Each structure stands twice: as C-alpha cells, then as structure tokens.
C-alpha cells in the first residue's frame, strides 16, 4: 500500500510551487488530477530542456498526475471543478487573489459543497496586504527575503540562485501544510483554507536574521563561500584542478581539520573555541587549509579527510552525480517508462518509508490525456463530453 492512496488532490496551480506540493503528494499514492488550460497548457511545459519538443521539467513536475484540460474561466469548466471538489480532499491553486471568487469558485462556496475540503492557496504575496494582487514569482521572493542580498562575493552584486529555489521551498512547505490540515480534519471533521505566500517559507531557512537585526542591529553581509557562523568553511582547489567543499560546523570537526593540515597550534588559541571566534580569524584559517589542499590531488585530500573523520565533499556537476556510488546505493535516480519519450531518468521520491514507500508510476502526461476518464468519474455522459470538447471547454 501507499501512504496517501485514499486522497484525491486537484492540482489547479501552475509553474512550480503549487505543482511541486501536488507532486510530493502524488509520489506517495494520492490521486492527483492536474487541471490545465485546454489550449495553453501549463507554462512549465515550456521551461528548460526538452526532447522532441517535450519539456523535461513538466515530465518531473507532473509525474504521478492525471492530466485533465479544463477552461476554468468558462461556466461549464467551473461546474466541472465544483463537481470535482465535491469528491476531492485537497484543491491546490495559485491564481491571483480574487480570481476564484470571480469565477464563482470562492473557497467558502467550495467548502459549502464539501465541508471536508482543504483549499490550499499559493500566491507570491498572500491573500491580503498591499502587494496581494501583484504577480509574484520565486525570483521576487529570493530578492525580498534577503537571500540575494547575502549571496555572492563580498565585492560582487547580490546573487540570485540558478534554479527555482523559493518555489521549491514553498512547495515543500505547502505539502507539509496540507498534511497538517488533513491531520486536523481527522479531529474536527472539517476542511479549511491554507494561505501561503511564497515570500515567507524561504525566510525560515535563512536563520534568525530578523532576530539578530532587532536585537543587535546586525545586517547579513555577502561572504562568498565562507560562513558567518563558523570557519574554516569554503571551497578549495586541489593540485589537479578539482574543487572541494569543507564545513566545520561542529567544534570537533574544526579541530580535526586544522590538525590534519599541520596547524594543531591553532586549536590552543582562545578564539578557536567557538564558531564566532574562528570567523574573526578566517583569513588565517583559510590560508592554512587552502595551502595544504593546493599541494595535493583531490583523491588524496578526500582520503586523508575521511581518515581524520573530517567533513569534505567534492563539488559535483551532473556528470559526477550520475556516477556517484552513494546516489546509486540510495536509488536516487530511476528509469521511468514514458508514453512520449520511451523512457526517462528522473530523481526518485525524496525520502524512503519502510512500510509504505512512494514510487513514480508515470511521468507528466500530454495535455488532456485523462480528461475523458476524469469526467466519466464525475458522471458526465460521452455525449456531453463531446459537446464540451467541441466548445473548447475541455481538451
């Protein structure tokens, strides 16, 4: 059995944050029905790399989802969603605030039809406030959260991540929020509305920056690959031109690293006893570590660090990830049959459960692949489905 096989989830969101949450629920067995526009499809279909015109982001993001194409701006499309909401546990949407209400699909109306429904609303800035109705994307959250301001080299510009970081964090947070709401439903018998702003979850991963600002007036500065909390922590180049990353978040690890690189005298310094103290002497520490590593090839450095039980890792690109034995042992990547591409390698579910593991049953499907099946389950006769298709309400 799978953990969430008794749940039906409507994924009416677009791009990354909301659909990521739905993907995680689908990975553990939820029946996820992806609703997208009959003619435009989900914008994520056109993002990133593609094979024969088929987007690979879409294949991963919409795995384990049934694809139904419904125009929710049309009255008949709205009726389809109402019927579906009556028979579902969760609705995930990311339209601008007021859109569902304009379409006569307000959460309070859907909850009247199905009091056990969880309505998960994901927007850039939340459902209220001065920016609520502005378009919001993960990039704006990365900018407004302080992430970009503290990322990059000290003498360089603020730096955005090369991926949908804030969206991914918000997707994880929304999956958690949905499970919390479902657990509460077991106690109360009632569904509820989740209001999540993409600008908020990323803040939680940036540490106590607001606490430090209010208490101390501290403003985080860009430190490159160094840390403001401990040292040595950086990337270092080996003799054979490879790059390694080192972290010394734990005091014993810091002691082992400097001892390994021939500077046990540093351990005796009073400032070495705390991460904050070591940060004040980061140049000296980095010089000791970097010079030792620069005289050796990567394989020797990694072996010596492992012998010393000190934390080190090579900096990988995707070619290295594909060959790494640890990822292979974990089954981090799987080959999945696909009706359009034959087969596709993608990242597996992100954790393992001993009794009810998740699985990837299929990758993202073509537009409208399951529309007829979904409508038949809602008691639409074949003749009505044909009329709706001829009118452009569905695909």
Q: Which residues are marked as active site?
A: 167
CA 139, CA 137: separation in Å to the nearest integer? 5
b/e for 224-255, b at 16 or more Cβ within 10 A?
Answer: eebbbebbbbbebebeeebebebbbeeeebbb
CA 188, CA 381: separation in Å to the nearest integer? 36
b/e for 146-167, b at 16 or more Cβ within 10 A?
Answer: bbbbbbeeeeeeebbeeebbbb
What are the structure tokens assigned to 233, written together?
């922590």
Write the CA distances from 99 to 117, 300, 330, integer angstroms. Answer: 19, 59, 43
- Taking residue 313's Cβ as centre, other Cβ atoms within 10 Å add up to 11
Mark residue 146 as left, alpha or beta (left: phi above 0; alpha: psi -120 to 50; beta: remaining).
left
Backbone angles phi, psi at 366, to 5 degrees: -60, 160
CA 388, CA 392: separation in Å to the nearest integer? 6
Write the CA distances from 203 to 122, 207, 383, integer angstroms. Answer: 16, 7, 51
Q: Are strands 243-246 and 234-237 parallel, antiparallel or unpaired?
A: antiparallel
CA neighbours within 13 Å on the CB side: how many for 101?
Answer: 6
The SS3 assignment for 260 reads helix
| Closest among 78, 87, 107, 19 to 394, alpha carbons compared | 78
Q: Are strands 90-93 and 8-11 parallel, antiparallel or unpaired?
A: parallel
Length of the chain: 395
* Strand ordering across the sheet containing 65-69: 65-69, 31-36, 8-11, 90-93, 118-123, 193-197
């Amino acid at each position: 059995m799978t953990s969430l096989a008794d749940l039906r989830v409507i994924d009416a969101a677009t791009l990354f944050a909301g659909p990521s949450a739905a993907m995680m629920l689908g990975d553990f067995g939820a029946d996820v029905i992806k609703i997208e526009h009959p003619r435009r499809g989900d914008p994520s279909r056109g993002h990133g790399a593609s094979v024969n015109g088929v987007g690979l982001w879409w294949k991963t993001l919409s795995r384990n989802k049934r694809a139904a194409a419904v125009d929710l701006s049309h009255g008949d499309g709205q009726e389809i969603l109402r019927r579906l909401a009556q028979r579902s546990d969760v609705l995930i949407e990311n339209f601008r605030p007021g859109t569902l209400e304009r379409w006569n699909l307000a959460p309070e109306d859907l909850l009247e039809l199905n009091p056990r429904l969880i309505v998960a609303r994901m927007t850039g800035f939340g459902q209220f406030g001065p920016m609520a109705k502005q378009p919001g994307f993960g990039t704006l959250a990365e900018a407004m959260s302080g992430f970009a301001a503290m990322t990059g080299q000290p003498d360089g510009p603020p730096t955005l991540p090369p991926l949908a970081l804030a969206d991914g964090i918000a997707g994880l947070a929304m999956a958690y929020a949905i499970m919390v709401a479902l657990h509460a439903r077991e106690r109360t018998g009632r569904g509820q509305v989740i209001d999540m702003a993409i600008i908020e979850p990323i803040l939680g991963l940036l540490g106590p920056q607001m606490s430090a600002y209010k208490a101390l007036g501290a403003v985080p500065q860009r430190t490159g690959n160094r840390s403001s909390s401990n040292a040595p922590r950086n990337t270092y180049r080996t003799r054979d031109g490879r790059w390694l990353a080192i972290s010394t978040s734990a005091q014993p690890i810091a002691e082992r690293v400097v001892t390994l690189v021939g500077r046990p005298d540093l351990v005796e310094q009073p400032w070495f006893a705390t991460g904050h103290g070591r940060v004040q002497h980061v140049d000296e520490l980095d010089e000791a570590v970097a010079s030792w590593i620069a005289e050796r090839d990567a394989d020797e450095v990694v072996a010596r660090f492992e012998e010393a039980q000190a934390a080190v890792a090579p900096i990988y690109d995707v070619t290295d990830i594909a060959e790494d034995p640890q990822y292979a042992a974990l089954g981090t990547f799987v080959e999945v049959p696909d009706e359009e591409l034959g087969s596709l390698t993608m990242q597996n579910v992100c954790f393992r459960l001993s009794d009810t593991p998740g699985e990837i049953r299929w990758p993202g499907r073509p537009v409208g692949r399951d529309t007829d099946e979904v409508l038949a389950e809602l008691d639409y006769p074949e003749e009505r489905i044909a009329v709706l298709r001829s009118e452009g309400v569905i695909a």
